Structure 1
Amino acid sequence: MSAPPSLRTRTAGHPRPVLEAHGIRKRFPGVLALDDVALKLHPGEVHALMGENGAGKSTLIKVLTGVHPADGGSIVVDGRQRHFDDPLQAQHAGISTVYQEVNLCPNLSVAENILIGREPRRFGLVHWSALRRRAAELLAELDLDVDVTSLLSTHSPAVRQLVAIVRAVDVSAKVLVLDEPTSSLDREEVAQLFALVRRLRDRGVAILFVTHFLDQVFDICDRVTILRNGRLEGEYPIGDLTHVSLVQRMVGGELATLDKLSDRAHADAAERATGKPLLQARQLTRTGHVEPYDLDIHPGEVIGLAGLLGSGRTEAARLLFGADSPDAGELIMDGEPVSLRTPRNAVARRIAFCSENRKSEGLIGELTVRENIVLALQAARGWTRPLSRAKQDELTHHWIDALDIRPAAPEAQVRHLSGGNQQKVLLARWLLTEPRLLILDEPTRGIDIGAKAEIQKLVARLAADGTSVLFISAELEEVLRLSHRIAVLRDHRMVAILTNDDSVTPERILATIATGADS
Structure 2
Amino acid sequence: MSADTAVPPVVEMTGITIRFPGVLALDGVDFSLRPGEVHSLMGENGAGKSTLIKALTGVYPVDAGEIVVGGRPRRFTSPADAQDAGISTVYQEVNLCANLSVGENVMLGHEPRTATGIDWKAAHRRAADQLESLGLNLDTRSALSSHSIAIQQLIAIARAMVLDAKVLILDEPTSSLDRGEVEQLFDVVRELRAKRVAILFVSHFLDQIYEISDRITVLRNGRLVGEYAVDELPRGELVSRMIGRELDELAALASVADRSIDRSATPVLRATGVGRRGSLEPVDIEVYEGEVVGVAGLLGSGRTELVRLLYGADRAESGRIEVNGRPAKHATPRHAIENRIAFSSENRRAEGIISDLTVAENIVLGIQARRGAMRRIPQSEADAIVAEYIAALGVRPADPDMPAGNLSGGNQQKVLLARWLATAPELIVLDEPTRGIDVGAKADIQRKVAELSARGLSVIFISSELEEVLRIAQRIVVMRDRRKIGELDSREVDLDGLIDYIAHQTEESAA
**Map of 2:442 onto structure 1:** none
**Map of 1:487 onto structure 2:** none
Aligned-partner SS, 2:68:
strand
The alignment's TM-score, normalised by the length of structure 2, stands at 0.63
Alignment of 1:208-219 (within 5 A): 208-219=200-211
Letter matched to residue 453 of structure 1: L
> Structure 1 125/455 Cα, relative in aligned 2: closer, same or farther at 3 Å?
farther
> Structure 1 389/64 Cα, relative in aligned 2: closer, same or farther at 3 Å?
farther
**Map of 1:321 onto structure 2:** 312
> Structure 1 113/367 Cα, relative in aligned 2: closer, same or farther at 3 Å?
farther
**Map of 2:242 onto structure 1:** 250
> Gaps (5+ residues) in structure 1?
1-5, 256-264, 287-293, 305-312, 410-423, 445-450, 484-503, 511-519
Deviation at 1:106, TM superposition (A): 4.0
Letter matched to residue 106 of structure 2: I
Aligned-partner SS, 2:350:
coil
**Map of 1:351 onto structure 2:** 341
Deviation at 1:197, TM superposition (A): 1.0
> Structure 1 280/57 Cα, relative in aligned 2: closer, same or farther at 3 Å?
closer
Quote the Cα distance in structure 1 between the aligned partners of 2:350 and 2:55. Answer: 24
Quote the Cα distance in structure 2 between the aligned partners of 1:477 and 1:336. Answer: 24
> Structure 1 333/456 Cα, relative in aligned 2: closer, same or farther at 3 Å?
same
- Residue deviations 1:155-187, cap 9 Å, x none? 333323222222223211111111222233333
> Structure 1 454/43 Cα, relative in aligned 2: closer, same or farther at 3 Å?
same
**Map of 2:508 onto structure 1:** 507
Deviation at 1:69, TM superposition (A): 0.3
8 Å CA contact 1:363–1:372 kept in 2: the answer is: no
Deviation at 1:341, TM superposition (A): 6.5
- The answer on 1:453 being equivalent to 2:466 is yes
Quote the Cα distance in structure 2 between the aligned partners of 1:377 and 1:230. Answer: 33
Quote the Cα distance in structure 2 between the aligned partners of 1:113 and 1:34. Answer: 34
Deviation at 1:68, TM superposition (A): 0.4
Alignment of 1:393-432 (within 5 A): 393=407, 395-396=411-412, 398=414, 403-406=433-436
- Residue deviations 1:49-102, cap 9 Å, x none? 223332221111110100100011111111111111111111111111122333
**Map of 1:491 onto structure 2:** none
Quote the Cα distance in structure 1 between the aligned partners of 2:484 and 2:89. Answer: 31
8 Å CA contact 2:352–2:416 kept in 1: the answer is: no
Letter matched to residue 405 of structure 1: R
**Map of 1:138 onto structure 2:** 130
Letter matched to residue 508 of structure 2: E
- The answer on 1:78 being equivalent to 2:70 is yes
My pick for the range that moved more, 161-170 or 343-352, is: 343-352
**Map of 2:427 onto structure 1:** none
Quote the Cα distance in structure 2 between the aligned partners of 1:302 and 1:98. Answer: 37
Aligned length: 422
8 Å CA contact 1:351–1:438 kept in 2: the answer is: no
Deviation at 1:38, TM superposition (A): 1.5
**Map of 2:18 onto structure 1:** 26
Quote the Cα distance in structure 2 between the aligned partners of 1:331 and 1:252. Answer: 35
Quote the Cα distance in structure 2 between the aligned partners of 1:27 and 1:247. Answer: 27
Aligned-partner SS, 1:364:
helix
**Map of 1:109 onto structure 2:** 101
Deviation at 1:275, TM superposition (A): 4.1
**Map of 2:366 onto structure 1:** 380
Alignment of 1:117-136 (within 5 A): 117-120=109-112, 128-136=120-128
- Residue deviations 1:105-131, cap 9 Å, x none? 445433333233444566777654444
**Map of 1:7 onto structure 2:** 2
> Structure 1 254/470 Cα, relative in aligned 2: closer, same or farther at 3 Å?
closer
8 Å CA contact 2:103–2:141 kept in 1: the answer is: yes
Quote the Cα distance in structure 2 between the aligned partners of 1:82 and 1:395. Answer: 42
> Structure 1 320/168 Cα, relative in aligned 2: closer, same or farther at 3 Å?
same
> Structure 1 399/158 Cα, relative in aligned 2: closer, same or farther at 3 Å?
farther
- Residue deviations 1:259-279, cap 9 Å, x none? xxxxxx9x977x64x645646
Q: 2:220 aligns with which of 222, 228, 235?
A: 228
**Map of 2:165 onto structure 1:** 173
Aligned-partner SS, 2:199:
strand
**Map of 1:54 onto structure 2:** 46
Letter matched to residue 347 of structure 1: I
Deviation at 1:24, TM superposition (A): 1.1
Quote the Cα distance in structure 1 between the aligned partners of 2:100 and 2:344. Answer: 31
Letter matched to residue 204 of structure 1: R
> Structure 1 325/227 Cα, relative in aligned 2: closer, same or farther at 3 Å?
closer
Letter matched to residue 343 of structure 1: P
> Structure 1 135/178 Cα, relative in aligned 2: closer, same or farther at 3 Å?
same
8 Å CA contact 1:24–1:71 kept in 2: the answer is: yes
Aligned-partner SS, 2:95:
coil
Quote the Cα distance in structure 2 between the aligned partners of 1:87 and 1:129. Answer: 30
**Map of 2:58 onto structure 1:** 66
Aligned-partner SS, 1:215:
helix
My pick for the range that moved more, 398-407 or 111-120, is: 398-407
8 Å CA contact 2:267–2:288 kept in 1: the answer is: yes
Deviation at 1:389, TM superposition (A): 4.8
> Structure 1 400/174 Cα, relative in aligned 2: closer, same or farther at 3 Å?
farther
8 Å CA contact 1:437–1:470 kept in 2: the answer is: no
> Structure 1 395/319 Cα, relative in aligned 2: closer, same or farther at 3 Å?
closer
Quote the Cα distance in structure 1 between the aligned partners of 2:287 and 2:35. Answer: 53
Aligned-partner SS, 2:210:
helix
Letter matched to residue 228 of structure 1: R
8 Å CA contact 1:472–1:479 kept in 2: the answer is: yes
Aligned-partner SS, 2:158:
helix
Aligned-partner SS, 2:15:
strand
**Map of 2:395 onto structure 1:** none
8 Å CA contact 2:270–2:322 kept in 1: the answer is: yes
Deviation at 1:230, TM superposition (A): 1.9
Aligned-partner SS, 1:7:
coil
Quote the Cα distance in structure 2 between the aligned partners of 1:105 and 1:201. Answer: 27
**Map of 1:364 onto structure 2:** 350
